[in-house]
Each structure stands twice: as C-alpha cells, then as structure tokens.
Amino acid sequence: MVVRVRAAAVNFPDVLLIDGKYQLKIPTPFTPGSELAGDVIAAGDGVPFGPGDRVVGTSFVGAFAEQALLPAASVTAIPDGIDYAAAAGFGVTYRTAYHALRSIAQVSQGDWVVVLGAAGGVGLAAVELGVALGARVLAAASSPEKLAVCTERGAEAVIDYDREDLKARIREITGTGAQAVLDPVGGRYAEPALRSLARGGRFVTLGYAAGSIPAIPLNLVMLKGITVQGMEIRTFADDHPDDNERDLAELAELFAGGRVSPYIGARFPLAETAAALRYVADRKAIGKVIIDV
C-alpha cells in the first residue's frame, strides 16, 4: 500500500545504516527511516485498509519521505485518540523494550531493573514499561537533564554514570544487586552493570550506542550464575513467535489505553532530516526524535 507520511521517527540503527555499520548493508542510494505514521493513499486487493485510514508502519528503509510503499503485513491502524507523532515513535523502541523486559529478562513484580542509556528511545521506553510491569526501575544516563525525564517517566532511582561509580551506586540503591540489566549502550558501562547483578540475574544486550562492543569476563557469568542474552527486534518474531504474539497484544492494550506513550524530545521538518540524524548520532536525543512531514 501507499501511505502519505505525516510523521516519522529517527532510531539509532538509521544512523548505523547510513554509516555502513549496521549488521545488514543496504546498497546505495536509499532513503533511510524505519517507522512512520500517516494516511493510506492506495491499497491493493485484499488489504484491510483503504484510502484515508490512519496507519502506522515499519520498513527497513524509506520512512523519511512524503510517501512510502509498505507491505500490508507491516501496517496497523492507529488507535483512536493517538496522534501521528506518538504513533510513529511507539513501534520499534517500545517493542524492543517490551520484548526485552517481558520475554527475555522475564521481569517480575518488585524486581530491580537497571536501564542503561535510559533517556534514549529504547531506554526511556524500558523505564516506562518496566514501571507498567511493576518493576523497580533504576535509570542510568549521562546528564541531570536526562535523568530528570527518567524520573518523570517513573524511575524509582537514577544514576549519572558519567559522574558516579555505576557499580557502587547500583549496589547501594538495590541492596543485594539488581535482578536485570537492559543495555542498549555497550561500551564501558556494560561490565560494571553486569558486576552489580544479584546472583542469578539477567543481562540483556540490545545494542552498542556508545560505539564499542564490550568484552565481558566470562568468569563473572559463571561465578554468579548470570544469564547474558541478546535480543534483536528484527528477528525476535521468527525466533519467539508465541512470545511475540503475546507481547504485541499486551503492548497494544497499554498504548491504546493511554498507560504508555513515547516521550518526544525533539522534532524536525523533513527538510532537516540530516540534522535530526546528527542529533541522534551525537547522543543529544531524549526519548524520541520525530520528523514532521
């Protein structure tokens, strides 16, 4: 189907893809952007949408444009009362965070969950969703401004990991250590966060926004009985079809009911897409960055 794009969201993988550093390579030229919201212009036979329907969709590339061609399977209706920007900013980051919390880390009521890069798109979604799941969320980020937003979104405690000892502060706050760590950052923050886990804790690696892939001493994993697991949104549905179906249904209910919604920290017009991508690449983003079309 063809969609008139009204809003698109910038994600860190868009930056990696343009720079040739993503796991998959796309031949140039291509139009970047992986998630969008807008109105259906035209649809093929058998597609459950028609002209004028408000939809949100995902595509590996092509979202940063006035119009986009999407397969029907990647499109869903925007719930009533949800605007285009919120719809565009919800999909990738919230699905990533919810799968990581619900299916991979298997977070339970009352668990201490440490979220690294907590003011970014996935991080802030994880803060909000962790609270919705009944967890005690400890948000770690790199500035007082970012941590203030994490507190607004429900984090019980915060750590400025550029100015504080991450491992010591996690231990101080949680007492016996955290039950789970979600890490979309990598770099130098990963190991101290892993060391702060309680015995039997779960460490979920989601990406490497810091620019380097950490080397984890495996003796730590062995001695504390820690589980380290990766999660990639692109392959999660194929690897875990039952969990994916359950998670998406629960997530849609949370979103439609107004219990969770993306924090939009910056907006750019389509003509300034390059500036929006640079804003994300420079780690200035808090929550979601939206391109208005």
Contact residues for 78 (Cβ-Cβ < 8 A; gap 6+): 37, 54, 55, 56, 84, 87
Q: Is residue 82 in some structural domain? A: yes
Cα 245 from Cα 253, distance rounded (Å): 13
In the chain, the number of structural domains is 2
Given this model, what pLDDT does residue 25 score?
86
Residue-range definition of the domain harbouring residue 110: 105-230
Same domain as 88, residue 109: no
Given this model, what pLDDT does residue 115 score?
98
Return the number of other C-beta atoms located less than 10 Å from residue 252's C-beta.
14
Same domain as 34, residue 79: yes
Residue finishing a domain among 177, 212, 230? 230
Given this model, what pLDDT does residue 238 score?
93
Cα 187 from Cα 206, distance rounded (Å): 12
Cα 205 from Cα 129, distance rounded (Å): 17
Given this model, what pLDDT does residue 75 score?
94
Q: Is residue 97 in some structural domain? A: no
Same domain as 178, residue 70: no
Given this model, what pLDDT does residue 44 score?
87
Given this model, what pLDDT does residue 193 score?
96
Same domain as 201, residue 117: yes
Given this model, what pLDDT does residue 199 score?
96
Q: What is the DSSP pairing of strand 35-42 with strand 2-10?
A: antiparallel
Same domain as 223, residue 150: yes
Given this model, what pLDDT does residue 21 score?
81
Same domain as 113, residue 25: no
Same domain as 88, residue 128: no
Domain at 219, CATH number:
3.40.50.720
Same domain as 287, residue 198: no
Given this model, what pLDDT does residue 22 score?
81
Cα 256 from Cα 266, distance rounded (Å): 23
Domain at 86, CATH number:
3.90.180.10
Radius of gyration over alpha carbons of the chain, in Å?
19
Q: Is residue 145 in some structural domain? A: yes
Q: Is residue 224 in some structural domain? A: yes
Q: Is residue 249 in some structural domain? A: no
Return the number of other C-beta atoms located less than 10 Å from residue 171's C-beta.
16
Residue finishing a domain among 230, 250, 275? 230
> Tens of pLDDT along the chain (293 residues)?
999 999 999 998 899 899 888 878 888 899 999 999 999 999 988 889 999 999 999 988 999 999 999 998 899 999 999 999 999 999 899 999 999 999 999 999 999 999 999 999 999 999 999 999 999 999 999 999 999 999 999 999 999 999 999 999 999 999 999 999 999 999 999 999 999 999 999 999 998 888 889 998 999 999 999 999 999 988 999 999 999 999 999 999 999 899 999 999 999 999 999 999 999 998 889 999 999 99
